[in-house]
């Protein structure tokens, strides 16, 4: 079976690290900045960055509505940190009106932006993660958390009482950055989920 073609949204954020993680997890990974690149993807990674800036760039590159459409049609997506925020169906503390982060509705969840605090409040923690065989070293940077999940959304990990990783169908989201640690198990879960349904 051919490796799934997984795009990494390359408008802002840690694109290179996600490309490396996806390739090590068995995907054919490439950057997405144009509609044609989005259209040819079997799945998409939305990296960390700044969710309001990413929303602005999605509009500027005329990708906001095409991406919403692909997600509505069932394209699998994985979002880390800001990517989790954008994949939500509802965003709390979305930003200043006119410059706010806009939900793409890829996963039925409510996410609170910057819930763990500012950059100075960043931290690292071992978290139990459903689907992998040992705890994941999680790096939280101005991280969100999930306040509500829909009935068909599976909670994969928590930091304390807060939900920090979820899965709905073929899509995943984490409030932390597994691409920064060298641990490829979260990316492998995403890639294998796409491969199993092709």
| CA nearest to 25, candidates 10, 40, 45, 41 | 45
50 is in an annotated binding site: yes
79 forms bridges with which residues in the sheet?
46, 173
| CA atoms of 177 and 47, how far apart (whole Å) | 9
49 is in an annotated binding site: yes
45 forms bridges with which residues in the sheet?
8, 78
pLDDT for 25-61, tens place per residue? 999 999 999 999 999 999 999 999 999 999 999 999 9
Locate all alpha helices (DSSP H) within the chain, ordered by sequence: 15-24, 35-39, 51-60, 64-72, 82-87, 185-196
| CA atoms of 3 and 72, how far apart (whole Å) | 23
Burial 10-26 (b: 16+ CB within 10 A, else e): bbbbbbebbbebbbebb
Report CA-CA distances (Å) from 198 to 11, 79, 97, 140, 184. 27, 20, 40, 32, 21
142 is in an annotated binding site: yes
pLDDT for 93-134, tens place per residue? 988 887 889 999 999 999 999 898 777 678 899 999 999 999
pLDDT at residue 96 in the model: 81
Active-site position among 17, 18, 56, 177: 177
Spell out the CATH class of 5-196. alpha beta
Is the predicted pLDDT of residue 10 greater than 90, yes or no?
A: yes
Please give the structure tokens belonging to residue 137: 């070293």
113 is in an annotated binding site: yes
In the block, residue with structure tokens 């198990």: 185
Catalytic, 177? Answer yes
pTM here is: 0.95
Active-site position among 81, 100, 137, 147: 81
Burial 92-111 (b: 16+ CB within 10 A, else e): eebbeeeebbbbbebbbbeb
Active-site position among 17, 18, 37, 179: 179
């Amino acid at each position: 079976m051919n490796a799934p073609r997984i795009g990494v949204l390359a408008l802002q954020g840690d694109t290179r690290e996600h490309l490396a993680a996806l390739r090590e997890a068995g995907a054919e990974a490439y950057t997405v900045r144009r509609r044609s690149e989005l259209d040819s993807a079997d799945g998409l990674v939305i990296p960390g960055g700044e969710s309001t800036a990413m929303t602005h760039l999605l509009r500027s590159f005329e990708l906001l509505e095409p991406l919403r459409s692909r997600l509505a049609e069932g394209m699998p997506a994985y979002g880390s940190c800001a990517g989790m925020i954008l994949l939500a169906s509802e965003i709390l503390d979305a930003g200043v009106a006119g410059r706010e982060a806009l939900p793409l509705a890829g996963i039925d969840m409510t996410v609170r932006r910057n819930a763990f605090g500012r950059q100075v409040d960043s931290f690292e923690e071992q978290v139990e993660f459903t689907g992998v065989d040992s705890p994941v070293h999680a790096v939280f940077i101005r991280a969100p958390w999930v306040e509500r999940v829909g009935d068909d959304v599976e909670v994969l990990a928590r930091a304390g009482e807060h939900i920090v990783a979820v899965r709905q169908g073929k899509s995943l989201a984490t409030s932390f950055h597994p691409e920064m640690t060298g641990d490829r198990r979260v990316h492998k879960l995403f890639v294998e989920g796409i491969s199993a349904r092709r």
